[in-house]
């Protein structure tokens, strides 16, 4: 009987912890911008694992190109956070968002060039710059993931 009670308490605690996260994720997931940014992040994690592997060069170049396309699509969208703002605050936020995406696209072009030229050291530096840009951009814009770069360090 004690085991049954413990299991029911455990289940109740898990339900309480997971329901709000699922609700928040469902609301946040409805954003087309979030979909584009998640696609960039997904591709970046793969690139981070394979950019130094010559056998994966074509795949890496395709992934970097896809990241660039997602960044271009994202730039055309309005961040949900900005939709809740008005006036100068909204303008500043959107300008910062665009500047960060422009910087990302610049770094992606440099990464693509380094990978295409088999310059692994330069590619490694670009991967690190992109990871840092992600963290600093997310922190400045107040969106999830800022300062919490997950996964192995670039190049590992």
Whether residue 17 sits in one domain with residue 59: no
Q: Are 112 and 92 in a shared domain? A: yes
Same domain, yes or no, for 48 and 89?
yes
Same domain, 8 and 68: no
Mean pLDDT of 95-105: 98
Task: With respect to residue 155, please indicate whether it lies within any of the assigned structural domains.
Answer: no
Q: Which residue has the higher pLDDT, 26 or 117?
A: 117
Do 64 and 82 share a domain, yes or no? yes
Q: Are 63 and 46 in contact (CB under 8 A)?
A: yes
Say what the pLDDT of residue 45 is. Answer: 98
Confidence bin at 118 (pLDDT 50/70/90): very high
Selection from 98, 55, 93 nearest residue 75 by Cα: 98
Is the confidence at residue 24, as pLDDT, over 50?
Answer: no
| Residue in the block written with tokens 């979030």 | 34
Q: Structurally, how many domains does the chain consist of? A: 2
pLDDT band at 93; cut points 50, 70, 90:
very high
Does this model's pTM top 0.85?
Answer: no
Q: What is the mean pLDDT of the chain?
A: 83
What pLDDT is stored for residue 30 in this prediction?
Answer: 77
pLDDT at 151: 42
Task: Report the C-alpha gap between 12 and 63 in whole angstroms.
Answer: 42
**Domain extent for 101:** 32-141
Arithmetic mean of pLDDT, 47-51: 97
Looking at the domain assignment, is residue 146 inside a domain? no
Provide mean pLDDT across the span 14-25. Answer: 45
62 lies in some domain: yes
Q: Is the pLDDT of residue 86 over 60?
A: yes
Token pair 């590992």 in the structure block, residue:
156
pLDDT of residue 26: 42
């Amino acid at each position: 009987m004690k085991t049954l009670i413990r299991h029911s308490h455990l289940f109740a605690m898990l339900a309480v912890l997971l329901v709000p996260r699922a609700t928040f994720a469902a609301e946040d997931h409805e954003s087309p911008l979030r979909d584009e940014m998640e696609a960039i992040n997904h591709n970046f994690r793969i690139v981070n694992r394979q950019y130094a592997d010559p056998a994966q060069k074509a795949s890496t170049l395709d992934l970097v190109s896809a990241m660039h396309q997602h960044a271009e699509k994202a730039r055309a969208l309005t961040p949900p956070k900005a939709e809740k703002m008005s006036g100068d605050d909204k303008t500043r936020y959107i300008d910062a968002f665009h500047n960060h995406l422009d910087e990302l696209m610049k770094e992606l072009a440099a990464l693509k060039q380094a990978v295409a030229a088999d310059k692994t050291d330069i590619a490694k530096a670009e991967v690190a710059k992109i990871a840092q840009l992600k963290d600093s951009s997310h922190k400045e814009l107040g969106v999830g993931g800022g300062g919490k770069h997950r996964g192995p360090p670039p190049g590992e």
